[in-house]
């Protein structure tokens, strides 16, 4: 009996080896055909993807053109363009996956589960998305406005409102990228909401200087500048009696478009005007007394 069982075991092993060899041979024989089919599927998927890219670009172009004809705000156009782009690419990839063998029901369940996990992982990004929607609805600023984020002090001209971030261009040609959620939940100073903008320039003069002469010299600077709005107030005020001098405030108004050029030019002309009037601009001074050292006494002129 034991010999018979051994022979049966040997026969089964031989049969198993023959089956494995047969499977390998069958696989090798079908490999070129399977590889060709897989290559065709990949090529078709790439073709569909590139065609879909062109269709998405066309759809985005049509939507942008329609929004521009409807006089939509530029920020709204940029935001909707980013949103449409993301949604259409997700639909395109889903269509390609289901067309080439992925079960639609399973894919939907997988996307749902993945959506919950991704949502928990990117709560900050979802907050930024909601902030972008809120910015477009409330419209505290638009593309082209000069704003200052009160919380962190970043300021600049709004260049683009994207899906998650807003791009600011600073006066020194830097780009500041601020999350929309931060902007939606912080105080914003919109300096472009009014046509005019106030300019305050502070300068100190010596205590020995004539304040009235300084005021007249500085008022002439404001009168001569072409970008200073003559219809608005132009004043020279004593702001503070500081430690090293009298702090003067030079106040005027300029249009938003001319603000920076006017401010820079006035700062330079103020220095020239004070020099021309013989009025000194003081600098901080400090008297140091060393402990334990006798102070020099002034000589008595009557001793001689």
For residue 82, count other CB atoms closer than 10 A to its CB: 19
Q: Which of 155, 190, 225 is the last residue of a domain?
A: 190
- The pLDDT assigned to 256 comes to 84
Choosing from 65, 82, 116, the residue where a domain stops is 116
Handedness of CA 38, 39, 44, 50 (dihedral sign): positive
My answer on whether 166 and 228 are in the same domain is no
- Mean pLDDT throughout 32-58? 78
Residue that finishes a domain, picked among 60, 87, 116 = 116
Query: How confident is the model at residue 242, as a pLDDT?
Result: 86
pLDDT digits (tens, 9 = 90+) for 129-176: 788 778 877 788 888 888 888 767 788 889 888 878 889 998 888 898
Examine residue 291 and state whether it is found in any structural domain, yes or no: no
- Neighbour tally for 270: CB within 10 Å: 22
Mean pLDDT of 210-215: 92
pLDDT of residue 304: 45
Residues 53 and 155 in one domain: no
CA gap 88, 82 in Å, rounded: 10
Burial of 300 (0-12, 13-18, 19+ CB in 10 A): exposed
Residue 83 resides in a domain: yes
Q: Which domain holds residue 225?
A: 196-276
How far apart CA 36 and CA 234 sit, in angstroms, is 82
Quick one: 225 and 181 in the same domain?
no
Residue 262 lies inside a defined structural domain of this protein: yes
Please say if the pLDDT value at position 198 is more than 50.
Answer: yes
Is residue 72 located within the same domain as residue 147?
Answer: no
The sheet carrying 235-241 orders its strands as: 196-205, 246-255, 235-241
Q: Do both 77 and 25 map to the same domain?
A: yes
Q: Is the pTM of this model over 0.75?
A: no
User: Does 220 lie in the same domain as 175?
Assistant: no
Among 24-38, 206-220, 274-288, whose mean pLDDT is lowest? 24-38
Please give the Cα distance from 181 to 185 (Å, whole number).
Answer: 6
Which residue did the predictor score with more confidence, 108 or 59?
Answer: 59
First to last CA, the chain: 146
Residues 6+ apart with CB under 8 A from 176: 154, 156, 167, 168, 169, 170
pLDDT of residue 109: 61
pLDDT exceeds 70 at position 112: no
Angle of helix 259-276 versus helix 211-224 axis, rounded to 10 = 140
**In this structure, what CATH number is given to the domain that contains residue 271?**
3.30.70.100
Q: Is residue 250 part of a domain?
A: yes
Sign of CA dihedral 120, 126, 128, 131: negative
CATH number, domain containing residue 87 = 1.10.287.1260
- Using a pLDDT cut of 70, give the percent of the chain over it: 72
**CA–CA distances in Å: residue 44 to residues 66, 82, 100:** 33, 27, 9
Same domain, 108 and 29: yes
Do residues 97 and 53 share a domain?
Answer: yes
Pairing of strands 188-190, 196-205: unpaired
Helix (H) or strand (E) holding 178, with range, is strand 175-179
Please check whether residues 173 and 204 belong to one and the same domain. Answer: no
Q: What is the CATH number of the domain that holds 182?
A: 2.30.30.60
Give the pLDDT score at 185. 83
Q: How many C-beta atoms surround the C-beta of residue 46 within 10 A?
A: 11
* Most confidently predicted of 34-38, 212-216, 257-261: 212-216
* Residue 13: pLDDT band with limits 50, 70, 90: low
- 171-193 confidence digits (pLDDT tens): 888 898 888 888 888 888 888 87
Does residue 295 form part of some domain? no
Residue 266 has pLDDT above 90, yes or no: yes
**CA distance linking residue 172 with residue 82, whole number of Å:** 28
Asked if residue 242 and residue 186 are part of one domain, the reply reads no
Residue 210 included in any domain: yes
Q: Judge if 108 and 10 occupy the same domain.
A: yes
Determine which of 22-36, 53-67, 76-90, 194-208 has the lowest per-residue pLDDT on average.
22-36
* Residue linked to tokens 């500081």: 242
How far apart are the C-alpha atoms of 132 and 162, rounded to whole Å? Answer: 7
109 in the same domain as 157: no
In a domain, 124, yes or no: no
> What's residue 153's pLDDT?
75
Instruction: Output the pLDDT for position 223.
Output: 92
Cβ pair 133, 142 in contact under 8 A: no
Quote the pLDDT of residue 301.
46
Structurally, the chain folds into a number of domains equal to 3
Reported confidence tier of residue 249, pLDDT bands at 50, 70, 90: very high
Asked whether residue 125 is assigned to any structural domain, the reply reads no
State residue 244's pLDDT score. Answer: 83
């Amino acid at each position: 009996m034991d010999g018979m069982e051994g022979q049966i075991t040997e026969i089964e092993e031989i049969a198993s080896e023959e089956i494995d060899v047969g499977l390998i041979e069958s696989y090798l024989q079908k490999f070129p055909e399977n590889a060709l089919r897989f290559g065709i599927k990949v090529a078709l998927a790439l073709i569909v993807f590139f065609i879909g890219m062109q269709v998405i670009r066309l759809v985005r172009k049509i939507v942008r053109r329609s929004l521009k004809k409807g006089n939509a705000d530029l920020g709204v156009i940029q935001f909707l363009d980013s949103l449409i782009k993301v949604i259409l690419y997700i639909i395109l990839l889903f269509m390609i996956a289901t067309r080439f063998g992925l079960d639609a029901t399973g894919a939907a369940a997988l996307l749902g589960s993945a959506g919950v996990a991704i949502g928990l992982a990117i709560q900050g990004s979802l907050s930024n998305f909601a902030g972008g929607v809120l910015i477009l609805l409330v419209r505290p600023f638009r593309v082209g406005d000069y704003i200052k984020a009160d919380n962190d002090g970043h300021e600049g001209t709004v260049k683009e409102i994207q899906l998650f971030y807003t791009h600011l261009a600073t006066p020194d040609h830097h780009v500041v990228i601020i999350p929309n959620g931060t902007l939606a939940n912080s105080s914003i100073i919109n300096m472009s909401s009014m046509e005019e903008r106030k300019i305050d320039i502070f300068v100190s003069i010596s205590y020995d200087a004539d304040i009235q002469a300084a005021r007249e010299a500085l008022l002439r600077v404001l009168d001569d500048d072409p970008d200073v709005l003559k219809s608005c107030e132009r004043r020279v005020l004593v702001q503070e009696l500081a430690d090293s001098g009298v702090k003067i405030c030079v106040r005027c108004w300029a249009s938003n478009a001319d603000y920076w050029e006017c401010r820079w030019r006035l700062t330079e002309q103020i220095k020239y005007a004070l020099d021309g009037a013989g009025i000194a601009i003081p600098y901080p001074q400090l008297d140091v007394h060393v402990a334990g050292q006798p102070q020099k006494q002034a000589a008595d002129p009557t001793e001689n």
